Amino acid sequence: MKCRVCRGPAVLDIRRHNAAFCRDHFLKHCGEQVRRAIKDHDMIRAGERVVVAVSGGKDSLALWDLLLGLGYAPDGLYLGLGIGEYSDASGHAARAFAHDRGLKLHEVDLAADFGYDIPGAAAATHRAPCGACGLSKRHLFNAVAVEHGYDVVATGHNLDDEAAVLLGNVLRWETAYLGRQHPVLPATPGFARKVKPLYRLGERETAAYCLLQGIDYQVEECPMAEGNRHLGYKEVLNALEDRSPGAKAAFVFGFVDSAHDHFTDDAGAEREGLQACEVCGSPTTSDVCAFCRLRERVGSRADSPR
C-alpha cells in the first residue's frame, strides 16, 4: 500500500477515495478537506471570531487542531454534561489539549451553572437522554457565543454523523429538519453562525488524524447513547458503504449540492415569529424557550437564568 501522492509507505487507505496516504500526506488530506469545506460554504470570513464546541472526543479535538493548522485562532468551549466517569474523562481530554497548547477554553457545567445534568434530565422527562443533551448543547453553545461575541460556532460533526442524521430525517421526511441540515447555518438575530468544517471527513479519518498527531482524546462513546437510533443508522450506512464505497459521501454531498435547497422553505416557515424567551431572552417561537422549559421540568436549582 503506497501513498497516492509520494508513493512512500502508506499508513491509511480510504476506500471511498480509492487512495492510501503516508502520514504527512494523510494529515495534508485532512487539512485540505477542511479548507475546502470552509471555502465552499464561506464558513469563516476574515477577522471573524470562532469558538469550537469541544467534547474531548476525536472529532472536536481534531477540528480544533485542524483549524489552528489552517491559520485560524479559535477558542474552545467545553460543556460538562454530568455523565459520570465519561464526562470526567472527556473534560480532562479537552482541558489537557487546551493547556498543552496555551489555548483558551470556556467551560460551562450543567450541574454547577444550571442545576441539572443529563441523566437527571432524562429521568425527569422520561425520554431518551440524547434529546435533552442535544437541546442543552444547541442552546448553550449559542448562548456562550453570543455572550462572548463570537461570530461562528464550529462543531465536530463528521461525514458519518451527517449521513446518520440525514438518513433519519429522510426516513421520516422531516422536511423542516432537512431544510436546516447543512454544513452552514447562517447567523440570524440572536444566533451565531453554525458551521461543520469536518463534514467531508469520516470518523475513521478523524480518529486516525488524532492518533497521527498525538492528540489524546476520550475514546469511549457516550454510555447514554447506547442503542439510540443514530447509532442504528450508522450501522445501516456502514453496511451500504461496505457494499459500495463512497455511498455515504455521495449521500451527504449529493444532498448538500442538489437537494437541500428543495427544503429551505420548509425550514424558513418555522423560523418566522421568533421572540425573546420570557425567562432567558433567547430567540424562540414560544413564550418560553425549549431550554428553559427543560430546566423548569427538571426542577433546576440554579438561581439566575443564563
Q: Are the C-beta atoms of 136 and 231 separated by less than 8 Å?
A: no
94 close to 61: Cβ distance less than 8 angstroms: yes
What's phi and psi for 19, nearest 5 deg? -150, 155
Measured from the Cβ of residue 186, the count of other Cβ atoms closer than 10 Å reads 11
Pick the binder of its own copies from 72, 199, 255, 291 (CB under 8 A).
255
36, 39, 172, 301: which one binds its own copies (CB under 8 A)? 172
- Residue 217 touching its own copies (CB under 8 A): no
CA pair distance 210, 200, nearest whole angstrom: 16
Query: Minimum CB separation from its own copies for residue 193, in Å?
Result: 25
Nearest-angstrom CA–CA distance, 208 and 232: 23
Rule CB under 8 A: say whether 236 interacts with its own copies.
Answer: yes
Tell me which stretch binds its own copies (CB under 8 A): 16-24, 31-39, 168-176, 192-200: 168-176
In 3D space, the residue among 294, 174, 164 whose CA is nearest the CA of residue 235 turns out to be 164
Determine which residue in the list 103, 250, 279, 288 makes contact with its own copies, applying CB under 8 A. 250
Q: How far is the CB of 240 from its own copies (least distance, A)?
A: 6
How many residues at the interface with its own copies, by CB under 8 A?
Answer: 23
CA distance 162 to 205: 15
Does 240 sit near its own copies (CB under 8 A)?
yes
Burial-class residue 248 by CB neighbours within 10 Å (0-12, 13-18, 19+). buried
Nearer to its own copies, 19 or 240 (CB): 240
- Per-residue 3-state assignment (H helix, E strand, C coil) for 181-202: CCCEECCECCECEEECCCCCCC
Distance from the Cα of residue 79 to its chain's centroid:
13
Return the biggest CA–CA distance within the chain: 62
Question: To the nearest whole angstrom, how small is the minimum distance from the Cβ of residue 232 to its own copies?
Answer: 6
Does 170 sit near its own copies (CB under 8 A)? yes
**Region of 6-14, 25-33, 38-46, 246-254 interacting with its own copies (CB under 8 A):** 246-254
Q: Which helix (H) or strand (E) holds 19?
A: strand 19-21
Residue from the set 84, 186, 223, 254 that interacts with its own copies by CB under 8 A: 254
Taking contact as CB under 8 A, which single stretch among the options 78-86, 194-202, 211-219, 256-264 is the one that binds its own copies? 256-264
Pick the piece of the chain touching its own copies (CB under 8 A) from 43-51, 140-148, 231-239, 276-284: 231-239
Q: Assess 263 for contact with its own copies (CB under 8 A).
A: yes
Report the residue from 73, 112, 123, 171 that binds its own copies according to the rule CB under 8 A.
171
- Binding its own copies by CB under 8 A: which of 123, 219, 259, 276? 259
Choices 21-29, 139-147, 172-180, 208-216 (CB under 8 A): range interacting with its own copies: 172-180
Alpha carbon 50 to chain centroid distance? 14
CA 165 to CA 168: how far, in whole Å? 5
Q: Report the residue from 46, 149, 243, 273 that binds its own copies according to the rule CB under 8 A.
A: 243
User: Rounded to the nearest 5 degrees, what angle is found at the Cα of 109, between the Cα atoms of 105 and 111?
Assistant: 170
Rg (CA), the chain: 19
Measured from the CB of residue 156, what is the shortest distance to its own copies in angstroms?
Answer: 24
Residues that bind its own copies (CB under 8 A): 170-173, 175, 229, 232, 235-236, 239-240, 243-244, 247, 250-251, 254-255, 257-259, 262-263
